[in-house]
Amino acid sequence: MKLPELKIGNLVASVPIIQGGMAIRISTGALAGAVAAAGGIGVIGASGMTFDELAEEIRIAREKAMGGIIGINIMFAAREFWGIVRTAIKEKIDIVFTGAGFSRDIFKIGQDSNIPIVPIVSSARLAKTSDKCGATAIVVEGREAGGHLGTDRSIKDVLPEVRKVTTLPVIAAGGITTGQDIVEMFNLGANGVQIATRFVLSEECNAALPYKQLYQQAKEGDIVTISSPVGLPGHALKTDFVNKILKKEAPKPIGCDFCLKNCSLEYCIIQALINSLHGKINEGVVFSGENVWKIKDKRIRPAADIIKELIKEVEACPSEPEGAEGR
């Protein structure tokens, strides 16, 4: 199979792969720029960044992107959601992805700024609502995804339902690790795919080596579902801290920066993610898609090489996506 271009509004990606935005500085400008330069859509995980920091990361990404497409991902649950969006628009970001909650107002801001707004949803109902509100495309995410989850249903079940209710470009997300996975998503009606987990094993990913090594060593059964103060469940790899969360023994926050609009205060998710980012994995949370153990090549290498490998795997698959023409 040969991959088609991905068109979102006036943007055209030669490779229909969106690098999922991984928050708390896992995917920064270096990774987003490398993916964009390779023909995909590179995404900065903006949640948890200051406005000045985000502006700098967008500039870094732009320098590396060689004219490619750069976006941000921002959780609606973040207290500074609107400030992040305005900062990204000021820096002339190409596209905005938003999840972990839903905003109707952001679509008008996108239209006024001529910037595509792409919500991340987990149901046909919300996809239909997004279409009516003015979304330019829709990311549909299944239970196989890493990080915060919006459903306990498989992407293979949700994607066909979403395809039926919208003519917008639909991007499949959750558990996609191989070329065969990509082909399957196109056969189910996707126009593109969003992949995050596989890009953790890239040189440009900002995570510390122990974080990446946890991915390299992952086996089936190492990924568990945890509660999050955000109010959504999440997929994470087993660590000492994650085991405490599962046992309801995680330490309560000491002080609070009020980074979320609503927080259960079960534990500090931001500090847990920062700890793991810096390599203190047994004091933190390492989010991961549930199929991380299926990644065959677990070398740490350039993001461009990962994209080339995925394209090679896709082209080795004989099946052609049904109805690809005209979608």
**Predicted confidence (pLDDT) per residue in 267-297, tens digit:** 999 999 999 999 999 999 999 999 999 998 8
Residues 284 and 304 in one domain: no
Q: What CATH number corresponds to the domain at position 14?
A: 3.20.20.70
Segment 64-92 mean pLDDT = 94
Q: What percent of the chain has pLDDT over 90?
A: 84
Residues 112 and 164 in one domain: yes
pLDDT reading at 146 higher than 50: yes
Residues 40 and 161 in one domain: yes
Segment 150-165 mean pLDDT = 95
> Does the CA dihedral 79-23-36-188 come out positive or negative?
negative
Could you give the number of structural domains in the chain? Answer: 2
Residues 259 and 307 in one domain: no
Listed residue (35, 3, 13, 25) closest to 195, CA to CA: 35
Whether 320 maps to a domain, the answer reads no
Quickly list H helices, the chain.
29-37, 51-65, 81-90, 105-113, 124-133, 155-165, 179-187, 209-217, 240-246, 269-277, 303-315
* Cα three-residue angle 124-154-200, rounded to 5 degrees: 110
Residues 195 and 265 in one domain: no
Strand partners, 95: 71
Whether 239 maps to a domain, the answer reads yes
Residues 273 and 183 in one domain: no
Domain limits at 173? 6-206+295-315
pLDDT reading at 10 higher than 50: yes
N-term to C-term CA, the chain: 16
Whether 323 maps to a domain, the answer reads no
Residues 72 and 86 in one domain: yes
pTM > 0.85: yes
